[in-house]
A and B are shown apart, each in its own frame.
Chain A
Amino acid sequence: MKHEFTYNNLIRERLLKKKEKISEEKLVLFAKQDRRNFKYLYEAYYERIFLFLLRRSENENLAQDLTQQTFVKAMLNIEKFEFKGFPFSSWLYRIGLNELNLYYRSNKKKRTISIDNDELPELVEELPSESNPNLSNENLIKAFNFLSEAEVTLVEMKYFEKRSHQEISEILGISVANAKVKLHRVIKKMKNKIIESSENK
């Protein structure tokens, strides 16, 4: 017990001095030994998780609460976490997404989607201009209302947050191939909806 205590202190000192970079795997191990060591993981990821949740929530206060809940859940369940080739952050993102979905389900509120105008061009490029030359950002945004929450999450991750297929698959717990297929289907669905709407007009 005494040995473990001194060992933890040594790690703490090293981390505080930032003289030595300690791998994520080791940090998780230290957090498993003593939850107070979770602080280092918290400090490494709180900003990313907060921004991830802020993009999907109504306001900053809600994002703050959800981020806190995400980290509490992570601390409670860190014993169950095992490295299987995925980074620790993807596990945190997944907990965050689950917390967010739980919030929207229990409060029966509309899910928020945040879009920056700078983020739209990449998505517009995916939709062929030949089929729909008058494709406006407004039409594109309207097309989101025909997607399910899971589909919206995929589009957000790929086109707004610019995540790789690998990262998306890690967060959602699916294979890379599956992530690609799902994204392809979502884009196809959006395309069809936009074409339908232009034909109706």
Chain B
Amino acid sequence: MSEEKKYNIKLNPKKPNKEEIRKKMDFKGAYKAYSHKVYRTPWYSFQRHSSKNRKVSMFIILICVVGALVFIESEKEFNQKNKIPPSIQDSTLIKADTLKLK
């Protein structure tokens, strides 16, 4: 059997009693850490309230998606309408030599 130590083995470790554990652990600390995470991170706050306002949030997301799609479509249409053929507008395309000949 190789002597390679994969684990740190503690033999007969000292166990703290109930009072010692109680002193170490308190709910206030855990709740503080929880509320810190919940209120500081937008994703957690969203998750926390998602059950209450799931319908509202889904409706808002749907409106945002539909709005974005409508905007993209209208942009495309606007660009197509305002597209003027370059041959008419752009004077630089008319060659000077051809004018002289005429």
A binding-site residues for B, Cβ under 8 Å = 35-36, 38-39, 42-43, 46-47, 50-51, 54-55, 58, 60, 64, 67-68, 71-72, 75-76, 79, 109-117, 139, 141-146, 152, 193-194, 196-197, 200
Tell me whether A110 and B10 are in contact (CB under 8 A): no
Tell whether A68 pairs with B15 under 8 Å between CB atoms, given A76-B38, A115-B9, A115-B10. no
With beta carbons under 8 angstroms apart, the residue of B12, B16, B29, B35 that contacts A68 is B29
With beta carbons under 8 angstroms apart, the residue of B5, B9, B30, B51 that contacts A71 is B30
Query: Which residue from chain A places its CB closest to the CB of B1 in the assembled complex?
Result: A197
Tell me whether B11 and A47 are in contact (CB under 8 A): no
Segment of B18-26, B59-67, B68-76, B81-89 in the binding face? B18-26
25 pairs from A and B in contact (CB 8 Å cutoff): A35-B34, A35-B35, A36-B31, A43-B27, A47-B18, A50-B24, A51-B21, A68-B30, A75-B31, A79-B48, A110-B5, A110-B6, A111-B6, A112-B10, A113-B9, A114-B10, A115-B9, A115-B10, A116-B12, A117-B11, A144-B7, A145-B5, A145-B6, A193-B1, A197-B1
Between B16, B25, B38, the greatest number of chain A beta carbons within 10 A of the residue's beta carbon is seen for B25
Within the complex, the shortest CB–CB distance from A40 to chain B, in Å, comes to 9
CB neighbours (8 Å) of A64 from chain B are 24-25
In the bound assembly, the distance between CA atoms of A68 and B21 in angstroms comes to 12
CB neighbours (8 Å) of A76 from chain B are 34, 37-38, 44, 47
In the bound assembly, the distance between CA atoms of A109 and B24 in angstroms comes to 24
In the bound assembly, the distance between CA atoms of A61 and B25 in angstroms comes to 11
CB neighbours (8 Å) of B12 from chain A are 115-117
CB neighbours (8 Å) of B27 from chain A are 38-39, 42-43, 46
Within the complex, the shortest CB–CB distance from A36 to chain B, in Å, comes to 7
Given contacts A60-B24, A115-B9, list 11 more A-B pairs with CB under 8 A.
A38-B31, A43-B27, A68-B29, A72-B37, A75-B31, A76-B34, A76-B44, A111-B6, A111-B8, A113-B10, A141-B9
